[in-house]
Structures are given as C-alpha cells and as structure tokens.
C-alpha cells in the first residue's frame, strides 16, 4: 500500500478550455494525449486522461524566496521530454518564447529549457541524459 505516482495536476486558469487546448496543441499534454510508445485501449488515447511513459519525477518544495522560477508564481511545471531541440524549434515556429542557458545543462542531469503558457505559468522542459 502507498502512493504509486502522481495521479493528476490541477490548477486554476482564466480560460480553462483555451489553456487546455494550448497544452494539447503545443506540448501533447492533457486529456486525449498519449506519449510516444504508449497506447490506450484499442491503441487509441483515452479522451479522459493523458497516458505517459514511466520515469523519474522530481517532487521538491522550494524556499519561498527561491529565484529558480518567478517569485510571483507558486509552482513551475517540469515536463520530461525527448528530442528537446525539435520541440524548441516547433515552439519557436508557433511564436512561443523559449529560454535556454548553457549553465542549465549538464551530462549528469540532462538539458533544460523554459517557456511559459499563455497565462504566464512557468514550464521547464527537461530532457534527461541518455541512458
């Protein structure tokens, strides 16, 4: 008995439908989405949830005065990705500002980039190091 993983992430939005569509369209995240290599019943994604690949999840409270993400935000979503260069190219082509810094990347932790959703919520994209 015990916790098996994160079962959902719930947050407020000024326009939940539009924000949900933005996450689906640009990141493949949300109800009806399935990560590469996963499939729902009959090979189709579920209309109710997002099917993901298993892997590491960092669960880490930060000090209230941390500068790791914007001080006016209570959280930052970190999404584990593959092919970060292609994803960043796609996001930039869609007019989404991206930020990368060489000092964020390290062979032992992987590569990182930052974006924000249309409501200003910070998102960190993380490509773990190759196994």
What pLDDT score was predicted for residue 41? 64
The whole domain housing 46 covers 16-55+74-127
* pTM of this structure: 0.90
Rg (alpha carbons) of the chain, rounded to whole number: 15
Whether 44 is covered by a domain: the verdict is: yes
Whether 69 is covered by a domain: the verdict is: no
Q: Which segments of the chain have a pLDDT < 50?
A: none
Whether 41 is covered by a domain: the verdict is: yes
Give the C-alpha separation, 6 to 86, whole Å.
Answer: 27
Q: Which of 52, 63, 47, 65 is nearest to 8 (CA)?
A: 52
What pLDDT score was predicted for residue 85? 96
What pLDDT score was predicted for residue 102? 95
Whether 64 is covered by a domain: the verdict is: no
Domain holding 50: CATH number?
3.10.180.10
What pLDDT score was predicted for residue 1? 65
User: In this structure, is the dihedral angle defined by the CA atoms of residues 43, 53, 66 and 11, taken in order, positive or negative?
Assistant: positive
Whether 112 is covered by a domain: the verdict is: yes
Give the C-alpha separation, 69 to 41, whole Å.
Answer: 38
DSSP state of 41: G
Number of domains in the chain: 1
């Amino acid at each position: 008995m015990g916790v098996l993983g994160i079962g959902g992430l719930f947050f407020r939005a000024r326009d939940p439908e539009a924000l949900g569509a933005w996450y689906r369209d640009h990141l493949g995240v949300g109800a009806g989405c399935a990560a590469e290599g996963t499939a729902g019943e009959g090979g189709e994604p579920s209309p109710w949830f997002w099917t993901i690949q298993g892997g590491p999840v960092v669960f880490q409270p930060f000090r209230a005065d941390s500068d790791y993400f914007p001080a006016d935000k209570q959280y930052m979503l970190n999404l584990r990705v593959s092919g970060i260069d292609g994803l960043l190219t796609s996001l930039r082509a869609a007019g989404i500002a991206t930020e990368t810094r060489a000092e964020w990347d390290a062979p032992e932790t992987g590569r990182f980039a930052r974006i924000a959703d249309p409501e200003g919520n910070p998102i960190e994209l993380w490509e773990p190091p190759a196994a």
